[in-house]
């Protein structure tokens, strides 16, 4: 099976994909990226609601072939985009479309490659459309019609509309001509109650519908972004007003404890890497022969094969609920073992304060495991998904690479409320004063 046929076949297994067997070799590169002297920063927002996983994204249909990236354009000015928090495990920020810009809140998702927002031309009975900001082509002097139909199949519904072209404004970058989706029909309830309007995908071009250039590629193509690199810092403080930052064009070393550990992307469609092992304390080893993992900002929890997740949750005292979720007794948090992931030859450790989701409402507290079962049969699986539970603890730098070097993901411990953890092996439990809300 070729590199591009794997993602095409895997679209029917929700939005996750693997493909050919993984390369066994991992490259460990430790670097510290200097901060730019000219950074664009935007104040952030944060919303508190519940804990359930959103997982809204699936496939866009038949993907296009992955085009090669050209040489980087002049300039080196990372762009900062604000992130807000939805359901405490979903992060989103603001963009503009059209001239003058019409503002939309979008999920920045590393598991898809297209941009879409609701349209003022939506179906009368499409309830989510009437509850969110809608794009009006007549209000934009730079609008260019396209008219190609698109459709997205979701786990809880579907989305359909037409493609259009207009100017994108994001984090101070303006006048990027992008092709995006105008959603005309959104029957899924997940969009009705969502705090965001649409989705901006940050995965590879192979996942984009109809050969549409993803927004990140457009910014590089048009000389508005130096290189196809971006990073996520997700704020874990439940009392903070901000949800974190998406940095376009690089990363901000003030967000993490250097150095970055870079792990090569094995399948350039989703951000898929090789994971060496998973350890729970000192008594349980999972993914013992190595396995595939995806770093996914569109997935709230950490997911894995049912049997391994069941063993993991048993080891941390999880009580099984419906749909693969587990309840944790809150009073046991100080005694729970760390869970450690071997990536690029380095152990990345989560303490119970990292992986237990605590919800406090009206003085009553509930605690849930951040590990959820999700079985993906071959060729898509078996597969682990490292979602926001992992990415809140570790800043991730997504580097698409170029003609001379392949794509990779850099990981480093977030600076928030932390001292540098041991890097030689699975950590003993470390606790700090913060909690997940």
Q: 105 pairs with which residues across the strands?
A: 94
CA–CA dist 29, 26 (Å, integer): 10
Peptide bond into 91 cis (omega under 30): no
Choose among 296, 278, 412: nearest CA to 339. 278
Contact 195, 89 (CB under 8 A): no
Q: Is 109 a catalytic residue?
A: yes
Contact 373, 305 (CB under 8 A): yes
Peptide bond into 423 cis (omega under 30): no
Contact 112, 204 (CB under 8 A): no
First and final C-alpha spacing in the chain: 44
190 by Cβ neighbours in 10 Å (0-12 / 13-18 / 19+) ranks as middle
DSSP H or E stretch at residue 215: helix 215-221
Query: Which ranges of 238-296 would DSSP assign to H, the alpha helix?
Result: none
Distances (CA, A) of 229 to 33, 145, 258: 12, 30, 17
Distances (CA, A) of 149 to 1, 62, 144, 314: 29, 13, 15, 47
Give the pairing type, strands 90-97 and 157-170. Answer: antiparallel
CA–CA dist 412, 396 (Å, integer): 7
Give the pairing type, strands 394-399 and 408-413. Answer: antiparallel
Query: How many C-beta neighbours within 10 Å does residue 34 have?
Result: 10
Tell me, what DSSP letter sits at residue 88? T
Beta-strand runs (E) in 315-419 = 319-320, 326-328, 339-343, 346-350, 356-361, 364-369, 371-373, 383-386, 394-399, 408-413
Beta-strand runs (E) in 269-316 = 271-275, 278-280, 284-286, 291-295, 302-304
The catalytic residue among 166, 197, 252, 296 is: 296
Contact 190, 157 (CB under 8 A): yes
Q: Is 252 a catalytic residue?
A: no
**Positions marked catalytic:** 109, 296
């Amino acid at each position: 099976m070729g590199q591009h046929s794997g993602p095409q076949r895997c679209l029917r297994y929700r939005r996750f994909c693997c493909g050919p067997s993984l390369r066994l070799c991992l490259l460990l590169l430790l670097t510290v990226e200097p901060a730019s002297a000219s950074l664009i920063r935007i104040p952030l927002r944060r919303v508190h609601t519940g804990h359930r996983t959103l997982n809204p994204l699936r496939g866009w249909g038949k993907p296009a072939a992955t085009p090669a990236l050209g040489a980087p354009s002049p300039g080196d000015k990372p762009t900062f985009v604000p992130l807000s928090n939805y359901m405490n495990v979903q992060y989103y920020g603001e963009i503009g479309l059209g001239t003058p810009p019409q503002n939309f809140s979008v999920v920045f998702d590393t598991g898809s490659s297209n941009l879409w927002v609701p349209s003022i031309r939506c179906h009368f009975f499409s309830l989510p459309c009437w509850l969110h900001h809608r794009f009006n082509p007549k209000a934009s002097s730079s609008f260019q019609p396209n008219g190609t139909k698109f459709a997205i199949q979701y786990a809880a519904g579907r989305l359909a509309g037409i493609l259009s072209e207009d100017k994108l404004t994001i984090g101070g970058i303006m006048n990027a001509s992008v092709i995006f989706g105008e959603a005309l029909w959104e029957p899924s309830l997940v969009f009705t109650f969502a705090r965001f309007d649409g989705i901006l995908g940050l995965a590879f071009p192979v996942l984009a519908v109809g050969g549409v250039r993803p927004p990140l590629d457009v910014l590089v193509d048009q000389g508005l972004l130096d290189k196809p690199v971006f990073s996520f810092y997700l704020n874990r403080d439940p009392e903070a007003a901000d949800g974190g930052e998406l940095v376009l064009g690089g990363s901000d070393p003030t967000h993490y404890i250097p150095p970055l550990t870079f792990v090569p992307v094995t399948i350039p469609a989703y951000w898929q890497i090789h994971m060496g092992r998973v350890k729970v304390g000192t008594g349980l080893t999972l993914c013992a022969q190595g396995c595939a993992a995806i770093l996914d900002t569109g997935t709230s929890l950490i997911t894995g094969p049912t049997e391994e997740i069941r063993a993991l949750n048993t080891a941390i005292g999880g009580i099984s609920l419906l749909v693969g979720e587990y309840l944790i007794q809150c009073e046991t948090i100080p005694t729970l073992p760390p869970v450690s992931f071997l990536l690029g030859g380095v152990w990345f450790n989560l303490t119970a304060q990292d992986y237990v989701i605590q919800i406090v409402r009206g003085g009553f507290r509930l605690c849930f495991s951040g590990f959820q079962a999700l079985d993906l049969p071959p060729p898509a699986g078996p597969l682990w998904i490292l979602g926001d539970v992992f990415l809140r603890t570790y800043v991730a730098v997504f580097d698409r690479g170029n003609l001379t070097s392949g794509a990779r993901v850099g990981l480093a411990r977030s600076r928030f409320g932390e001292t540098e953890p041991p890097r030689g092996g699975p950590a003993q439990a470390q606790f700090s004063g913060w909690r997940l809300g």
